[in-house]
Structure 1
């Protein structure tokens, strides 16, 4: 067994991880895939990936997504090939990943899994000493537009510009209750990332009222979507998502995916109206102490 820790994956490693994920998803009937870059991590020098090789074959993998400061929660995504389980590989990856976090000063973390996996493996949580949080998340995948959305002539839809970043960063901080520096850094990083496209909704007077980033590395993954508070519950989220789907569908054909808190009923309804359907329920796991 060989363990490799790295801040950045090579193209060969990315290909190997994607093949592992394809095998795991097929076996477990799961859908969630990790972000295969550390560009949003707060500490760029911290290893974000742990790869476990058995007989020179990638048999397990974990990703540490730490986009916040040291007092915030890190998300850990871990998978082991079905045929390689019950060999202690998962435990090894857990220990290695948690050791990295402690080394760099992170104390709070949670693992990401899916309800389908937990239902198929009812003793898993007890075996690894984890407990499931009560708040879950839906991952939704676009099927087709179900409504002919009315054209809103009072707003403009366009790509994010450099001059927009400061104000969008402030709105991002308000929408997700983040500090302004962290919120602006996230917008700036997305803007400069070649694999991400950022969109904004504006009034005709150039007031920013909505934003969404789209990672297009493997599929079109919509994230960090928000509508300014005073414009919510007026259909703008559905409108923004629909415009993004229409715009990017003119380019490379890929699936559209978005994540949303299970309890955020207005957002679930908005994305459903825009043609998305729930495909999996994501569960967050905490370590028992």
Structure 2
């Protein structure tokens, strides 16, 4: 199975049309059809259902699309890494980030690097621990930021200088907004929004035996999306401080949990990982900032 063939497959999967995909790839339609047929024969599976004017992926095709996207990204990253081995002016860094106010420390390092390395390019994806560690393990990204203690057997890591503080985001007119902090008693019976990871780990640790008294209305990977539902009066959002705009004119307020709940944030990378010069330099600067 060649990367060129996978790129052909991904083009057809995106366009859902053989003619448009062939035009995009600058090949003839018969050539493209022949390549895809050979791919199906090699895998022993039907990848497309062909209709009069469109093409639809089969279940096997959907699976291959996910795997092919990862493989192509990895191949592109390897190529970029070798092209920049001797590039002291810049290069590419790939990061997978959890939602956290502490990301500001990483942003400050990148801002400083841009003055010295003008050809630096950074690529950021967001996600929870499962999403970003999957990309890290596959070699698609160089570093990940987790809101969860990493596995020391698999990763090297640095703890960010400060933890994130948990609290409740609610409408400003809500009765709970008059309190300086909220307790388990305050949350019991309320429709709550939270990330699945936070609910199963941090909030469960905070509540202990009273977890059954809390009602998860819905889960969100991005706190901003959860805040939209809060604005519509559908519930209350458990999240980190500083992630949601709660200025006086925002209509929302944040109140910390009592007792205080904090989550440490970690920058991680794979053990025995070989970095490009620009990624190595970033790690050095992060270490310097975190140890100040």
* TM-score bucket (shorter structure): under 0.3
Name whichever structure is richer in strand by fraction: 1
Name whichever structure is richer in helix by fraction: 2
Bigger Rg, structure 1 or 2: 2
Per the normalisation by structure 1, the TM-score is 0.22
